[in-house]
Every structure is written in C-alpha cells, then in structure tokens.
C-alpha cells in the first residue's frame, strides 16, 4: 500500500466512539500518518464530533457496509459479529480488526510489533486483506516470552482485566454498581453478576483465546497455564507470570529493557493498574525469591490494542 501522491489511502474507523476506536482516532492525530482523508463511523448510530489532531471530525452512523467501499483501509473496533459482517461484503478494503482480541485465531492472521516483521505483515495483508490485532494480554505475554527465550520457564500466568477491557458499557456498569453499593441500594437482575467490589471470571473463554493467540504469535506451543479474571478497576490491566527458581533470572531485567514496548521498574517505583493506564509501554517489575521469581506487568489494554492497530497501518502504508 503506497502512500505517495494520489495513492495516499482513504481511511475509516468503525467503532470510533468505543474504548479502542477512540484511542485509534487519538493516535492518528498524534502520528504522522500520511492518508488522503479519514471518516469516523459508529455501529450504534451517529455521535458528536471527535478530535483527531487539530480537526474535529463528525461520527457517522454506519447505515450500510457499502459506505466503506471507497475506503482503502478500515480500522474495525467493534463487536466480532459486526466485524464479520463487514468482512463478508463483496467489495471491501484492507481491514485492521481489533475485534479478534476476544477469540482464537483462525483464518485471520495476527500481527503485533516486535512479534511479526514488517515483511511478514505485508505478506499477510496481500494474502488475507484482514489483519487481526491480538488481545493485549496475549501480546504482552508473547513479548515477554520472546524476550526471555532460553532464560526463563514460566509455569502459569494470571491476567487481571479492568472494565475498559470489555468496552464502554462495562465501564458504565461498574460505575453504576459501585455507586449503588456505596449507597446501599444495589439491586441486580437474576442473571446479572455483581462486578463492583468483586473479582469474577470473564463472560467468555478468554484463556483459550489468549493461549491460542500466544502460540500463533510465537510460532510455538505455549507451556503456560492461564487464568483470566475481571477486577473492579475502571482502566488498566495486569499480568502476573510465575517461574520456579532460575539461575538466569538476573538477566531478565536487561533483556526486557531492550525489548520493544517494555519499561522495567525497580526499588520503590510503583507498578499498579493505575500506573499502566494511558501508558504507551508495558511497565514490568521482577521479584526474585528463593522459592521462585514473579514477573508483574501492567499496561493499558485499550491503548495497546490501538497502538498495535496503528502500527499495522503505518507499516503497510510506508511499504
């Protein structure tokens, strides 16, 4: 996909009012991405304008998928059913699909910086015309395993996800329930779980999807046992990875410092979910004990998913 003269791509974001789509719009305003024009769509109806750099662009309702037919590249930050419907249209642009985060990879290839080369990404786009972005937790775990290959053997990982990992509606539900609990007026429907001040399993088999994505990104079977939990935080996510005693653990910090998108903190520096929110890098803390080692990584899932989507676009446009 060239980006010179008349060949500059026409771009769209579908789901521009969501947690990931809004971040993509923000990043497009910050990055020097050379495109001809940009249209913003919402699968749920029109909305107020969104600021993209110095411009305020309107958000249109995606009444018909044919509205995307004149686009060269489209970011999909929508539920999987909507993304699949758009992908099934006869004439469609190159799709960068963030909806793939919640499901195991199948016919759609996955790509992420530091895990897939630019040349391989271009091959993928030519063959599939639809590139999936992995779940941010899968991307973080795969990046750690790649950086520490040969120096660490992790047995398992616990993935802790705040409400933003499940979209704006979950953020609103958490806010409403938290307010109701503190005012002693919480009343839940029969099938409605309490997410406020509670830790619970995600509503989908996220461990299976993330495990399969890690294997695809690394090109090898992952030995990790995974457990995902939803925590009552509005933003941010964390991954705790556990390893038995390892004589090479002293090398981990140096290896991770040179890995793409990693910041290693030590001493009294904080590394909470709040510290990961709005970060463009994954903040990592390593703790070594006689009984083993723990790697704790915090990150902003929405930001990381958006950054991966924009990286895919930048790499293909610059080709």
Q: Are residues 177 and 99 in the same domain?
A: no
**Which range of residues forms the domain containing residue 152?**
137-301
CATH of the domain at 152: 3.30.360.10
SS3 assignment, position 168: helix
Instruction: Give me the residue label for tokens 């985060």.
Output: 101
Number of domains in the chain: 2
154 and 129, same domain (yes or no): no
Cα–Cα distance for residue pair 105/116, rounded to 1 Å: 15
Same domain? For 187 and 228 the reply is: yes
The rounded distance, in Å, linking the Cα atoms of 168 and 145 is: 31
Query: Which strands sit side by side in the sheet containing 37-42, from one edge to the other?
Result: 47-52, 55-61, 37-42, 10-14, 73-76, 94-97, 130-132
Which letter does DSSP use for residue 256 in this model? Answer: H
Regarding whether 260 and 198 lie in a shared domain, the answer is yes
Give the pLDDT of the chain (319 residues) as one tens digit per residue: 444 445 789 999 999 999 999 999 999 999 878 899 999 999 776 677 888 988 899 999 888 888 898 999 999 999 999 999 999 885 778 999 998 888 888 778 999 999 999 999 999 998 888 999 999 999 999 999 999 998 989 999 999 999 999 988 999 999 999 999 999 999 999 889 999 999 999 877 899 999 999 999 999 888 799 999 999 999 999 999 999 988 888 899 999 999 989 999 987 777 889 888 878 899 999 998 889 999 999 999 999 999 999 999 999 988 7
Q: State whether 109 and 258 are in the same domain.
A: no
Q: Are residues 71 and 115 in the same domain?
A: yes
Query: For position 33, which CATH number holds?
Result: 3.40.50.720
Q: Which residues contact 247 (CB under 8 A, 6 or more apart)?
A: none
- Which H or E run contains 130? strand 130-132
Say whether both 218 and 106 belong to one domain. no
Same domain, yes or no: 174 and 236: yes
Do 100 and 180 belong to one domain? no
Give the pTM.
Answer: 0.93
């Amino acid at each position: 996909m060239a980006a010179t003269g008349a060949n500059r791509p026409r771009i769209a974001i579908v789901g521009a009012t969501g947690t990931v789509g809004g971040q993509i719009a923000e990043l497009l305003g910050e990055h020097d991405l050379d495109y001809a024009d940009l249209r913003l769509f919402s699968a749920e109806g029109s909305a107020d304008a969104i600021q993209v750099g110095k411009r305020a662009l309107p958000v249109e309702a995606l009444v018909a998928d044919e509205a995307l037919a004149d686009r060269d590249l489209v970011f999909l930050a929508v539920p999987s059913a909507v993304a699949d419907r758009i992908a099934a249209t006869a004439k469609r642009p190159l799709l960068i699909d963030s909806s793939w985060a919640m499901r195991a990879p199948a016919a759609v290839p996955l790509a992420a910086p530091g895990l897939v080369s630019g040349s391989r990404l271009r091959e993928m786009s030519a063959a599939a015309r639809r590139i999936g972005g992995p779940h941010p937790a899968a991307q973080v775990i795969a990046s750690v395993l790649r950086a520490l290959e040969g120096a660490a053997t992790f047995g398992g990982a616990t993935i802790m996800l705040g409400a933003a990992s499940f979209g704006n509606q979950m953020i609103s539900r958490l806010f409403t329930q938290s307010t109701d609990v503190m005012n002693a007026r919480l009343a839940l429907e029969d099938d409605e779980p309490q997410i406020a001040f509670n830790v619970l399993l995600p509503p989908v088999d996220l461990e299976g999807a993330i495990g399969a994505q890690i294997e695809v990104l690394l090109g090898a079977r992952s030995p990790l046992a995974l457990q995902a939990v939803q925590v009552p935080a509005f933003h941010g996510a964390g991954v705790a990875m556990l390893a038995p005693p390892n004589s090479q653990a002293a090398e981990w910090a140096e290896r991770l410092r040179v890995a793409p998108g990693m910041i290693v903190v030590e001493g009294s520096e904080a590394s909470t979910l709040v510290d990961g929110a709005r970060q463009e890098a994954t903040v990592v803390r390593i703790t070594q004990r006689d009984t083993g080692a723990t790697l704790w990584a915090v990150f902003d899932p929405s930001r990381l998913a958006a950054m991966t989507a924009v990286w895919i676009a930048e790499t293909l446009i610059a080709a």
